[in-house]
Amino acid sequence: MQTKFIPINYDYFDYKGRNYAKIIGRNEKGKRICMIDSCPVYIWAILKENINQKQIEKITKKIEKIKLDLKGRQTKVEKVELHDKKFLSKKVKALKIYATNYKDLHDIASKLDFKEIEKRRGYDLGFTTHYIIEKKLKPLHWYTISGELLNNSEEFGGIDMNLDVDFCIKVEKIKTLEPDKIKYQPKILAYDIETDELQIGKGEILMISLVSDNFKKVITWKRNPTSDIRHLTSDFLEYVKDEAELIEKFIEYVKKVSPDFLVGYFSDGFDLPYLKARADIHKIKLSLGLDNTQPKFSRGVQLTGKINGITHIDLLKFIRTAYAQYMKSETLSLNEVAKEFLGDNKKEFKLKHSSKIKEHEWQKYYEYNLHDSILTYKLFEKFWPDLLEFTKTIEEPIFDTSRYGLSKYTESYILHNLEKFNEIPEKRPGHKEIGERKEIGSVKGAFVYEPTPGLYENIAMFDFTSMHTSIIISMNISKSTLLEKKEKGAYESPEIKEKNKKIKYYFSKEPGFFPNLLKEIFEKRKKFKTEYKKNPNPITLARSNAFKVLSASAHGYIAFFGARYYSHEASASILAFVRKFNQDIIEKTKKQGYKVIFGDTDSVAFTREKKSKKEVLKFLKKLNNELPGVMHLELEDFFKRGLWVTTRGGTAGAKKKYAMIDEEGKIKIRGFETVRRDWCKLSREIQSYVIKQILKDGNEKKALEYVKKIIKKLKQKEINKQDLIIKSQLKKPLSEYIATTPHVIAAKKMIEQKIPLSQGTLIEYYIAETKTKSKLVRDKVKLPEEKGEYELDYYLNRQILPAIENIFQVFGINIKETIEGKKQTTLGDF
DNA sequence: GTTAAGGCCATACC
DNA sequence: ACCGGTATGGCCTTAAC
């Protein structure tokens, strides 16, 4: 039979010693289909140089005889071919050694210890990745598949009989369909659980909400026994007898909706493992899989929950890697993320233990639970274009792309594109190699220019477009193009200090596959950005974003010790170029007669004095003409004013801290306390006001008046406590803290009061007046709900004044004296 | 007991 | 371990007096 098909969920199984890919997807009518397919399995043996034909024939014969009997599975070499390939951009002769089972390739590799063989590669990709590369059945692309329909067939041990799909097909032919011809509407089911404890399985699950297209449900067994059920019943609410029945009902609904995607928020680390743990306690099988199997959890750094045939998505992970760096939200909590992307307003509900929930609060709790699933559902819809485009770009199953970090994005893109360079993949570094890479230590980073504190007018700012990436492309830098010694015409890095020696690295003129691939990414990034500007919609934006992220992560990937194509030398060279190009631009700008104010990594800002914008742009053009390759400097913007301050208590200009106002009055604040979430709202707001007023007026007069007014309020204890809350994140488990900081104390108080808390929680507290004689801040910590007066001294001298004093210092004003008054007379003002 | 230096810790910039 | 280095600054801990 023949059908159209979009692959969504990839899995594989062994049958009679061979690997079979098992791919679940849909056809154009929305029917769920399972495809079963196989592909050649092989390992590359790269031969040493100068091995002659006779030697090759000799070892080929030996290799062909390799047979292994492992754990009851017999495996053997089926075929050996000689190929002309490339490895790390160098021409090599390599044997392609076919075997029966991908998992046995490691053992076959260990049998290939012939002296003629230099390296063994290409057996650590994982079967699914290998399969996608071999058969080009890429996730979320459309295909026409023809094959044999398996209908209650005995083949593959009757796999189709236990699988909840419409058809099961043994693939014979795969044909690519024109992209975007058929619209695929993903079937989504969002879920969220509420529990009494945050530790997995420790407390009971109180309720579960489920949201799909035209489907809303909250299942619960908890309510106050004295309350009248009629008042509590809603159209979405369904009562069950106990927690066991709750879990069974959940399974029932998942099966009934039968989604492509079961979507949660932090569900890898919480909801799914929690459900499994509670199901285990009740001896219930959490049979969510299409084959009725339970979710499988794998432990990387973080827990990951996989359901057979249904793609479990933890949206938090995807947002964290693909979006967090471009977001404004202070935390990645569902509420804040929803606020930023959906404009949804918070549903207020303070989580507490079920025993402390009052009668009338239950209905609110149910609604809160439902709302979380609604938000998760809407966020999935919102991010679907991004999930789609990232998956199509990286060519890994969406289950994986949605969980990958930046290095994996880059690496997957490379692995799926090696074939066009005829490259054999490099291996993953082992423990030993990672250790060695760490041992070498980090390389010197970018250059940051020390600004002179002050208020400046008429500022222009230039920055390099994708600086690191354009350096890699323009200077052909990579692990594979690094030369052992200087060659004629090679690219030469600036001088680098390594172990007290000054050295240079050289890179081949011969284009390497990595810089070449990056050039492709770089150009696609430009193309999709233009495409988006011409035709703005979620898909073009997502495509543009995918390539933006990919392009921006290239250098980080090379410098990451876990990367296949890691290179200390390449990373050091890239950064040496980064420093050099930035410093060169700064020098040239000074020479041109401009006053340089600041520069950080890839940017320079300067006052244009009396020169016109036109002259500045002419200068920019001149600078660009002197840049090599694809390197490009662009005008970030012209600014009306900008403010730079000293470091706290010092005289040096503070780096990475500035504020500018553009000609439309739009203000850009970097590094100041205003943008730091670990300062209280009051400090941030005062500072933000002061900065804005100064930038608008060009002087400090109004700002000073405002500050006096607020400080008066502060002294009269008229400030709302909410504005004095300090927030700080618990970055590791409480037990691992060496120093007992205020936020650690606050966290301990929360535990005492049974307020849910875990690693990653944003801890809130305020500093209160206490009887203690202790000078330690931590001894005055109180939780927001705790009764108490705020301590004036702390907020004045450690929050408000520090945030503004070096700003007023720019105008020669000592704000402490002005407020507290060395001259006591000024105190009378308050 | 006080103080300064150093370390831990969180957060931001690019 | 899950992209990197550079930088500010609060607060605690420790060593020295």
Helices (H), A459-537: 467-474, 513-534
In tens, the pLDDT along A344-373 reads 876 777 777 777 778 778 888 999 999 999
pLDDT at A290 over 70: yes
Question: Quick check: A34 and A148 in contact, CB under 8 A?
Answer: no
| Among candidate residues A70, A134, A81, A51, the one with its CA nearest the CA of residue A108 | A70
In the 8-state DSSP scheme, what is residue A428?
P
Most distant CA pair in chain A: distance in Å? 101
Question: Quick check: A309 and A290 in contact, CB under 8 A?
Answer: yes
Per the DSSP assignment, residues forming a β-bridge with A4 are A144
Q: Residue A511 has what pLDDT?
A: 93
Please name the residues in contact with A625: beta carbons below 8 A apart, sequence gap of 6 or more.
none
Question: Quick check: A349 and A206 in contact, CB under 8 A?
Answer: no
Rounded, the Å distance between the CA of A812 and C1' of C14 is 37
- Whole-number CA gyration radius for chain A: 31
DSSP string computed for A735-772: GG-SS--HHHHHHHHHHHTT----TT-EEEEEEB--S-
Q: Residue A151 has what pLDDT?
A: 84
For residues A700 and A696, what is the distance between their CA atoms, to the nearest angstrom?
A: 10
Question: Quick check: A426 and A121 in contact, CB under 8 A?
Answer: yes
Rounded, the Å distance between the CA of A714 and C1' of C3 is 44
Rounded, the Å distance between the CA of A676 and C1' of C9 is 11
Rounded, the Å distance between the CA of A657 and C1' of C6 is 13
Please name the residues in contact with A535: beta carbons below 8 A apart, sequence gap of 6 or more.
none
- Between the alpha carbon of residue A620 and those of residues A468, A585, A601, A639, the distances in Å are 19, 10, 18, 16
Length of chain A equals 830
Q: Residue A161 has what pLDDT?
A: 83
For residues A31 and A51, what is the distance between their CA atoms, to the nearest angstrom?
A: 54
A177 or A359, which is more confident? A177
Give the HSE-up count for residue A634: Cα atoms under 13 Å, Cβ half-sphere: 9
End-to-end CA distance of chain A: 87
Question: Quick check: A540 and A386 in contact, CB under 8 A?
Answer: no
Structure tokens at A296: 């499988």
Please name the residues in contact with A393: beta carbons below 8 A apart, sequence gap of 6 or more.
A413, A543, A546, A547, A550
Rounded, the Å distance between the CA of A687 and C1' of C14 is 34
Please check whether strand B approaches the CB of A670 to within 7 Å.
Answer: yes
Rounded, the Å distance between the CA of A226 and C1' of B13 is 56
| Among candidate residues A818, A819, A810, A806, the one with its CA nearest the CA of residue A672 | A806
For residues A758 and A730, what is the distance between their CA atoms, to the nearest angstrom?
A: 8
Please check whether strand B approaches the CB of A613 to within 7 Å.
Answer: no
For residues A714 and A383, what is the distance between their CA atoms, to the nearest angstrom?
A: 44
Beta strands in A442-576 (DSSP E): 454-464, 482-483, 491-492, 496-498, 501-503, 506-507
Please name the residues in contact with A759: beta carbons below 8 A apart, sequence gap of 6 or more.
A730, A731, A732, A733
Please check whether strand B approaches the CB of A66 to within 7 Å.
Answer: no
Structure tokens at A568: 């200390």
Please check whether strand B approaches the CB of A600 to within 7 Å.
Answer: yes
Positions of chain B reached by protein Cβ under 7 A? 7-14
Please check whether strand B approaches the CB of A678 to within 7 Å.
Answer: yes
Question: Quick check: A260 and A311 in contact, CB under 8 A?
Answer: yes
| Among candidate residues A42, A41, A17, the one with its CA nearest the CA of residue A112 | A42
In tens, the pLDDT along A294-341 reads 999 998 778 899 999 999 999 999 999 988 888 888 889 899 899 999
SS3 track for A96-120: EEEECCHHHHHHHHHHCCCCCEEEE
In tens, the pLDDT along A387-429 reads 999 999 999 999 999 999 999 999 999 999 999 999 999 999 9
For residues A261 and A316, what is the distance between their CA atoms, to the nearest angstrom?
A: 15
For residues A383 and A390, what is the distance between their CA atoms, to the nearest angstrom?
A: 10
Please check whether strand B approaches the CB of A177 to within 7 Å.
Answer: no
Q: What is the pTM of this model?
A: 0.93
For residues A428 and A711, what is the distance between their CA atoms, to the nearest angstrom?
A: 59
For residues A638 and A255, what is the distance between their CA atoms, to the nearest angstrom?
A: 58
Beta strands in A103-243 (DSSP E): 117-121, 143-149, 167-176, 188-195, 205-212, 215-220, 237-239
Please check whether strand B approaches the CB of A737 to within 7 Å.
Answer: yes
Positions of chain C reached by protein Cβ under 7 A? 1-13
Per the DSSP assignment, residues forming a β-bridge with A264 are A314
A22: Cα separation from own chain's centroid: 28
A572: Cα separation from own chain's centroid: 24
pLDDT at A710 over 50: yes
Q: Residue A803 has what pLDDT?
A: 95
In tens, the pLDDT along A381-395 reads 999 999 999 999 999
Helix axis angle for A467-474 and A568-591, nearest 10°, is: 110
Hits for CB < 7 Å against strand B across A residues 696-735? 727-732
Rounded, the Å distance between the CA of A131 and C1' of C13 is 56
In tens, the pLDDT along A779-801 reads 999 999 999 999 999 999 999 99
The three-class DSSP label of residue A49 is: coil
Q: Residue A218 has what pLDDT?
A: 95
**φ, ψ dihedrals at A764, nearest 5°:** -120, 140
Structure tokens at A69: 């009997």
Closest nucleotide to A410, Cα to C1': C3
The three-class DSSP label of residue A82 is: strand
A75 or A14, which is more confident? A14
Rounded, the Å distance between the CA of A821 and C1' of C15 is 36
In tens, the pLDDT along A181-227 reads 899 999 999 999 999 888 899 999 999 999 999 999 999 998 765 55
In tens, the pLDDT along A446-474 reads 999 999 999 999 999 999 999 999 999 99
Q: Residue A346 has what pLDDT?
A: 66
Rounded, the Å distance between the CA of A648 and C1' of C17 is 27
Q: What are the b/e assignments for A636-650, b being 16+ CB within 10 Å? A: bbbbbbbbbbbeeee
Nearest protein residue to the C1' atom of C10, measured from CA: A798
Query: What kind and span of H or E run contains A336?
Result: helix A334-342
| Among candidate residues A660, A580, A559, the one with its CA nearest the CA of residue A627 | A580
Closest nucleotide to A438, Cα to C1': C1
Nearest protein residue to the C1' atom of C5, measured from CA: A445
For residues A300 and A269, what is the distance between their CA atoms, to the nearest angstrom?
A: 12
Q: Residue A828 has what pLDDT?
A: 37
Rounded, the Å distance between the CA of A446 and C1' of B3 is 36
Residue A451, burial from CB neighbour count under 10 angstroms (0-12, 13-18, 19+): buried
Structure tokens at A199: 């530790």
Rounded, the Å distance between the CA of A707 and C1' of B11 is 25
pLDDT at A692 over 90: yes
Per the DSSP assignment, residues forming a β-bridge with A10 are A23
Hits for CB < 7 Å against strand B across A residues 294-353? 325, 330
Q: Residue A830 has what pLDDT?
A: 36
In tens, the pLDDT along A541-588 reads 899 989 999 999 999 999 999 999 999 999 999 999 999 999 999 999
Nearest protein residue to the C1' atom of C12, measured from CA: A739
Q: Residue A355 has what pLDDT?
A: 76
Rounded, the Å distance between the CA of A326 and C1' of C10 is 26
Mean pLDDT lowest among A288-292, A551-555, A727-731, A751-755: A751-755
